[in-house]
Amino acid sequence: MDLPGGTPGRLWIAGEWVEAESGATFEDRNPDDDSPYATVARGTPGDIRRAVAAARSAFQSYGQTLAKDREAWLMEAAHLMAARKPRFMDALFDEIGSPRKKAEFEFGKALSMLRAAAGMARQAAGKVMPSDHAGRLSISIRRPVGVVAAITPFNVPLIKGVRLTANPLALGNAVVLLPSEEAPVVALLLAELYADAGIPAGAFNVVTGYGHEIGDTLTGHPDVAMVTFTGSSRVGAHIQRICAAGNKRVTLELGGKSPLVVLADADLAKAVPAAVHGIFTYQGQVCMGNSRIYVERPVYASFVDNFKAAADRLGMGDLRNPDTVIGPIISRRQRDRVRSHIEDAVAKGATAVAGGDWVGNRCRPTVLTGVTEAMVCCREETFGPVAAVYPVKSYEEALAKANDTAFGLSAAIFTRNLDRALHFAQHVGAGMCHVNASALQDEPHVPFGGNGASGAGREGTEADIEAMTVLKWVTVNS
Ligand code: NAD
């Protein structure tokens, strides 16, 4: 495969394509058939130190650049990205097994995030404040934090690759990106894009490799001022401890077990497709996936029948076919996890009314009923096309069940009762809540993020201006 910077894939450090210092590489595989997709540099702790040094050095000048210049570079990057859509789409198909609908969604969302990031550059404003002293002008100004480490997951490598790098760059920070080992090529395409758009050398760097080998060197590096991380709750908690010890800023977007509530007065013609979209998009490998569905008893049987029928109809063909919804699970480790969650539930008495079986590396969309506390999938994130549907006797029981979780990312409710909808929106313990829509939603400028095991801090243009700049108090005295 033809990679920017040459084959095998290299690291992007200080505006140059370089090999890993060890010369080592690793195989990036197409999850549909496990065939080799690309060979990519296996970065070492020494490569991380090189990238951080490059970013720190570039920050001396990049941190002083004008907002209008950063805006222009990011606008040019967005312009080039739109022109290079086929290349990005191919990587989303072949590197991470995205069906076309998901790849289209991801590309469109990432592009809008890049455009929104360009708009952030001019918005990093402070304010003028009253003063206790006569003749004093008291103001606050915002400065970039310095070097930001961006660490991204496999499932939305372009959305997160853009958001976690364009937002800090817009604000004058230098960035070192550590992408998932399952999605290094998307990150290399991004490096090429930023370079061609004119982002100065060293302001953006990419080190590919295995996170468990090089991640701690990055997050623990004294010259890294902030970590913006999206990934599993386990790795997120580990990073949070390192950041606390190093007194670093950190934003964590982690896993989920998002509830969808369907009340008896809901419009099932809308609730069922939303539930399908909310859990089966990208074969359930979505942090906001509504894997727990609580349905009021009067409509439970009808909901399950319709949900099962819709799940059975989902296309599992060629990833480039627009009708395909279910593609492969990313890796053997993740396949084992999905398989074990289903087998555990069925062995303990749950019924797979749809799916439960596999075609190659693809798990059929699976609808479970009769799930109990004894089953692993009741509480843990499966990260596959698996939904459990539970009957509930009342709205109050649905809310209590929705909140009985360590996670708190997104939540959704279908009802025509405005009082209940507003009560749910205020009392569900999730960072995001959607009424009469699925739990799977994102926009560039909204406060995006979760509570508890789902993370800390928020992403989004406004939230990132807070997170990725430092306020300085300045007085001018006469
Ligand atoms: P993961 O935690 O396995 O890996 C994420 C990233 O962490 C990768 O780049 C990996 O290289 C890196 N990493 C691994 N060990 C590290 C270490 N010690 N230090 C620093 N970095 C390290 O997650 P994944 O399997 O790639 O992604 C799936 C998870 O991400 C799911 O739990 C999903 O819910 C979550 N996710 C959350 C959001 C959100 O916005 N909340 C979005 C997408 C995915």
Phi-psi region of 349 (alpha: psi -120 to 50; beta: other; left: phi over 0): left
Long-range Cβ contacts of 378-381 (<8 Å, 24+ apart): 379/257, 379/405, 379/406, 380/257, 380/341, 381/233, 381/255, 381/256, 381/257, 381/291, 381/407
- Of the residues 287, 377, 378, 433, only one is catalytic, namely 287
Residue 378 appears among annotated catalytic residues: no
Query: At residue 462, does pLDDT exceed 90?
Result: yes
Looking at residue 434, what is its pLDDT? 98
Residue 2's pLDDT is: 84
Mean of pLDDT values over 305-311: 98
Kindly state if the Cβ of 326 falls inside 6 Å of ligand 1: no
Q: Is the pLDDT at 1 greater than 80, yes or no? A: no
Spacing, Cα 250 to ligand 1 middle (Å): 14
Residue 80 CA to residue 406 CA, distance in Å, equals: 41
Kindly state if the Cβ of 455 falls inside 6 Å of ligand 1: yes
pLDDT tens readout for residues 106-159: 999 999 999 999 999 999 999 999 999 999 999 999 999 999 999 999 999 999
Count Cβ neighbours within 10 Å for each residue of 270-299 and write b for 16 or more, e otherwise: ebbebbbbbbbbbbbbbbbbbbbbbbbeeb
Average pLDDT value over all residues in the chain: 98
| Tens digit of each residue's pLDDT (9 = 90 or more) over 253-281 | 999 999 999 999 999 999 999 999 999 99
Gap between the Cα atoms of 254 and 72, Å rounded: 32
Ligand 1 contact, 156 CB (< 6 A)? yes
Q: Return the C-alpha torsion angle 157, 163, 165, 170, nearest 10.
A: 160
Residue 255 alpha carbon to ligand 1 centre in Å: 9
Q: Which two tokens stand for residue 124?
A: 């990093």
Q: Closest residue (by CA) to atom 17 of ligand 1? A: 215
Q: Which two tokens stand for residue 156?
A: 């939305």
**Is the pLDDT assigned to residue 50 strictly greater than 80?**
yes
Question: Which pair of structure tokens corresponds to residue 449?
Answer: 């993020």
pLDDT tens digits, 71-120: 999 999 999 999 999 999 999 999 999 999 999 999 999 999 999 999 99
Q: Name the DSSP letter for residue 175.
A: E
380 CB within 6 A, ligand 1 = no
Instruction: Look at residue 68 and tell me whether its pLDDT is greater than 80.
Output: yes
Give the whole-number percent of the chain exceeding pLDDT 90: 100
pLDDT digits (tens, 9 = 90+) for 197-240: 999 999 999 999 999 999 999 999 999 999 999 999 999 999 99
Is 90 exceeded by the pLDDT of residue 474? yes
Single-letter code of the amino acid located at 311: A
Asked whether the predicted pLDDT for residue 369 surpasses 90, the reply is: yes
Once rounded to an integer, what is the mean pLDDT over residues 51-69?
98
Q: Choose the catalytic residue: 181, 253, 296, 381.
A: 253
User: Tokens 């906001």, residue?
Assistant: 288
**The tokens 């059929």 sit on which residue?**
364
Ligand 1 centroid to residue 277 C-alpha, Å = 22
* Residue 154 alpha carbon to ligand 1 centre in Å: 7
- Reduced to 3 states (helix: H, G, I; strand: E, B; else coil), residue 346 is helix
Is 287 catalytic? The answer is yes
184 lines ligand 1 (CB under 6 A): no
Report the residue among 230, 409, 442 best suited for mutation to probe ligand 1: largest number of ligand atoms under 8 A from its CB.
Answer: 230
Give the pLDDT confidence score for residue 193 in this predicted structure: 98
Average pLDDT, stretch 3-25? 96
**347-360 pLDDT tens trace:** 999 999 999 999 99
pLDDT at res. 472: 97
Question: Cβ(216) to ligand 1 under 6 A?
Answer: yes
Residue 26: predicted pLDDT: 98
Is the minimum distance from the CB of 381 to ligand 1 under 6 angstroms?
Answer: yes
Compute the average pLDDT of residues 185-204.
98
Cα 389 from Cα 260, distance rounded (Å): 9
